[in-house]
Structure 1
Amino acid sequence: MQIVRLGIIGLGNMGKGHIHYLVNGEVSGVEVTAVSDAIEANLAWAKEKLGDQVGLYLDPLKMMDSGLVDGVLIATPHFSHPELAIACFERGLHVLCEKPAGVYTKQVREMNEAGSKANVKFSMMYNQRTNPLYVKLKDMIDAGELGEIRRTNWIITNWYRSQSYYDSGTWRATWAGEGGGVLLNQDPHQLDLWQWTISMMPKRVRAFCYFGKHRNIEVEDDVTAFVEYENGATGVFVTTTGEAPGTNRLEISGDRGKVVIENNELTFWRLRVPEPEFNKEYKGGFGQPECWKCEIPVQGSYPDHKGITQNFVNAILFDEPLIAPGEEGIKGLMLSNAMLLSTWTDNWVDLPIDEELFYQHLQDRIANSSFQKEAVSK
């Protein structure tokens, strides 16, 4: 294979965005040969953008069976991601899936199982994994610069969304239309980075999600979660779409110092002596380890979506290791599912979560969703 023939399912904002950089030749070794969308106007747009040779399909399964594609980029609404990915796997097609992996881990686990049986490449569009800030942070932690992780804290509240944003579509911010709120729509990248950079998932979660707290919506728009890790470390995750001005600050503390990422800068407060060693030897009463503030140089470009797409293509053509393996999409989703389930049950939730219990709670809310009732009435 000299070039990857790519099909794109879903021509909303994300699907069209991917087409723009692909048409401009910003990713090598790939050509968009077919697209699928349920709206004919979007297919007409794609034909104008991509030319007369591109295959146009209202039915994504027909596109998969057309013989025109080697791989598929899925950029459809959240609920359909696992179903479409599984259909691709069954046909031996490579898959690059937009975030989130799905709405609930039960369906995503089925997707992962199907992917593991197929001899194809499967990647998630976790483009933030190409951000040099987080690449450097992960490198530092993996190298032991922070020592053992003791605390994580991410305040990510700069997702401001007005009521008019939610009112722009009846499916928006509904359980039936999107399956969740800020955790599922705005935070998938942060939830992924939260566990990816430290290579740890929590062992249990206690969360407080508020539904329609700041806006007239069904789903969560304000969340504070507390987590515990197996090694005794703790963490806090705070997010909302109703706060202005917002904050984006990630702080990770270890027994050798602390790292903060804020305002696109990475700062390392490095202890000259690890805290456990200092505590063991120090006899002076009040006192603390000597600390050096280090401005960490962060080098490299930020290829963003193009970087993940290029990596996906290179994985197919040259067996390059994937930056964001598709099976890892379940991790961030499990964190958001756990936060919702903790709120719904008013209790701690152990990880991995009870997937059947979460699914039952979600189905109850979908059944009473305004978008579901609207669909039934039609």
Structure 2
Amino acid sequence: MENVKVGIIGIGNMGSSHSLYLNNGEVPGAVLTAVCDQNPERLKWAKETLGENIQMFDNTESFFEFGDIDAVIVATPHYDHPPLAIKALQKGIHVLVEKPVGVFTKNVRELNEVAEKSGKVFGIMFNQRTNPLYQKLRDLVQSGELGEIKRTNWIITDWYRSQSYYDSGGWRATWAGEGGGVLANQDPHQLDLWQWTSGLMPKRVRAFCGFGKFHNIEVEDDVTAYVEYENGATGVFVTSTGDAPGTNRYEISGDRGKLVVEDGKLTFWRLRQSEREFNREYKGGFGEPECWKIDIPIKGEATQHKGITTNWVNAILHGTELLGPGEEGIKGLEISNAIHLSAWTDDWVDLPINEDLFYSKLQEKIKTSTFKKNIVADRTLNIQGTH
């Protein structure tokens, strides 16, 4: 295979962006050959913008049957990601799915099983993993430079959204349309980075969510979650779309100091001596280990969505290791599901979560949702792009 023939399902905001850089030849070894969307206006845009050489489809059945494709990017609403990805993989097509990988882990686990058996390249659009800032943060943690982790804290509240934003689409901020609020829409990247950079998955979660706290919506727009890890470390994740101005500050504290990401910078408050060693050896009453404030130099640039797509294409053509393996999408989603379930049950939630309980609770929310299109019954019908 000299080139990968790529099709896109869903050409809304994200899908159209992918189509443009692919059609412009900005991903070596990839050729855009087909797009699929049930919205006639989006297909009209595709024809006018991408050219008549691109195959146009208004349903996935025809797309998979007649599309001249080796690989597909799934850029539809959240619920449709797993069923469409499964369908593609079963037909021998490589898959790159937009974040989040899905809404509930029960069907994402099925997707992962299908992907493993398929032998095809399955990636997820975790474009923040291309950011050298987070790559360096992860490197400092994984190399042992920070020592054993004691605490993680992420305040990510710079997602401010007005009511008019939510009113712009009937599917927005609904259980049936998106499957969640700030956790499902704004935070999938942070939930992924939280566990990817620290190397830790919580063992249990206690969370509090405000559902429609700052907006007239049915899903969460304010979240505070407390987590505990297997090694005894703890963590806090705070997020909201109702804070103005918001904050984006991520801290990881360890035995050898503290790493802080804020304002696009990485700072290492490095202890000259391990805190645990100092605690055992120091005899002077008041005192603390000597600490150096180090501004960590960050080299390179974040290649974002195009970088993930390029990496995925290289994995197909050359066996390059994926930066965003699709199977890892379930990790951040499980944290998100655990936060929702803890808030719904007003109790602690252990990980791995009770997937059947979460699914039943979600179905209860969907039944009372204000978004009532037939896609609730048959998600695969909803192939328009997310806008």
TM-score (norm 2): 0.96
Note the 1:214-363 alignment, pairs <5 A: 214-363=214-363
Between the aligned partners of 2:348 and 2:42, the Cα distance in structure 1 is 45
Q: What is the match of residue 90 of structure 1?
A: 90
What's the offset of the Cα at 1:84? Answer: 0.1
Identity score, percent: 65
Higher mean C-alpha deviation, range 39-48 or range 9-18: 39-48
What's the offset of the Cα at 1:33? Answer: 0.2
Q: What is the match of residue 200 of structure 1?
A: 200
1:176 aligns with 2:170: no
1:331 is matched by which residue type in structure 2? Answer: K
Q: What secondary structure, in the 3-state scheme, does the structure 1 residue paired with 2:159 have? A: coil
Q: In structure 2, do the counterparts of structure 1 residues 370 and 7 end up closer, same or farther at CA, with 3 Å as the change threshold?
A: same
What's the offset of the Cα at 1:61? Answer: 2.7
Between the aligned partners of 1:70 and 1:49, the Cα distance in structure 2 is 22
Between the aligned partners of 2:64 and 2:294, the Cα distance in structure 1 is 51
Q: What secondary structure, in the 3-state scheme, does the structure 1 residue paired with 2:372 have? A: helix
Between the aligned partners of 1:20 and 1:309, the Cα distance in structure 2 is 12
Q: What secondary structure, in the 3-state scheme, does the structure 2 residue paired with 1:372 have? A: coil
Q: In structure 2, do the counterparts of structure 1 residues 181 and 353 end up closer, same or farther at CA, with 3 Å as the change threshold?
A: same
Q: What secondary structure, in the 3-state scheme, does the structure 2 residue paired with 1:225 have? A: strand
Between the aligned partners of 2:46 and 2:98, the Cα distance in structure 1 is 19
Higher mean C-alpha deviation, range 275-284 or range 188-197: 275-284
2:97 is matched by which residue type in structure 1? Answer: C
What's the offset of the Cα at 1:199? Answer: 1.2
Between the aligned partners of 1:129 and 1:99, the Cα distance in structure 2 is 12
Q: What is the match of residue 31 of structure 1?
A: 31
The C-alpha deviation readout for 1:276-296, integer Å capped at 9, x for no partner, is 111111011110000000110
- In the alignment, is the contact (CA less than 8 A) between 2:55 and 2:67 conserved in 1? no
Note the 1:65-104 alignment, pairs <5 A: 65-104=65-104
The C-alpha deviation readout for 1:217-242, integer Å capped at 9, x for no partner, is 00000000000000000000000000
The C-alpha deviation readout for 1:73-121, integer Å capped at 9, x for no partner, is 0000000000000000110100000000001110111111111110100
What's the offset of the Cα at 1:374? Answer: 9.5
Between the aligned partners of 1:348 and 1:185, the Cα distance in structure 2 is 24
1:275 is matched by which residue type in structure 2? Answer: E
What's the offset of the Cα at 1:25? Answer: 2.2
Query: Which structure has more RCO (C-alpha within 8 Å, separation ≥ 6)?
Result: 2
Q: In structure 2, do the counterparts of structure 1 residues 374 and 320 end up closer, same or farther at CA, with 3 Å as the change threshold?
A: closer
Q: In structure 2, do the counterparts of structure 1 residues 3 and 226 end up closer, same or farther at CA, with 3 Å as the change threshold?
A: same
- In the alignment, is the contact (CA less than 8 A) between 2:34 and 2:67 conserved in 1? no
Structural RMSD (CA)? 1.2
What's the offset of the Cα at 1:67? Answer: 5.0
Between the aligned partners of 1:199 and 1:325, the Cα distance in structure 2 is 15
2:287 is matched by which residue type in structure 1? Answer: G
Q: What is the match of residue 147 of structure 1?
A: 147
Between the aligned partners of 2:371 and 2:116, the Cα distance in structure 1 is 34
Between the aligned partners of 1:190 and 1:77, the Cα distance in structure 2 is 19
Between the aligned partners of 2:15 and 2:60, the Cα distance in structure 1 is 14
Note the 1:89-128 alignment, pairs <5 A: 89-128=89-128
- In the alignment, is the contact (CA less than 8 A) between 1:61 and 1:87 conserved in 2? no
Between the aligned partners of 1:175 and 1:50, the Cα distance in structure 2 is 34
What's the offset of the Cα at 1:66? Answer: 1.8
- In the alignment, is the contact (CA less than 8 A) between 1:268 and 1:296 conserved in 2? yes
The C-alpha deviation readout for 1:134-168, integer Å capped at 9, x for no partner, is 00001111111100010000000000000000001
The C-alpha deviation readout for 1:32-51, integer Å capped at 9, x for no partner, is 10010001221121122222
- In the alignment, is the contact (CA less than 8 A) between 2:251 and 2:259 conserved in 1? yes
What's the offset of the Cα at 1:24? Answer: 2.5
1:164 aligns with 2:164: yes
Q: List gaps (5 residues or longer) in structure 1.
A: none
1:224 is matched by which residue type in structure 2? Answer: T
Note the 1:54-69 alignment, pairs <5 A: 54-69=54-69
Q: What is the match of residue 132 of structure 1?
A: 132
Between the aligned partners of 1:292 and 1:363, the Cα distance in structure 2 is 52
Q: What secondary structure, in the 3-state scheme, does the structure 1 residue paired with 2:114 have? A: helix
What's the offset of the Cα at 1:375? Answer: 8.4
Q: List gaps (5 residues or longer) in structure 2.
A: 377-387
2:54 is matched by which residue type in structure 1? Answer: V
TM-score (norm 1): 0.98
Q: What secondary structure, in the 3-state scheme, does the structure 2 residue paired with 1:92 have? A: coil
1:218 is matched by which residue type in structure 2? Answer: E
Between the aligned partners of 1:375 and 1:299, the Cα distance in structure 2 is 45
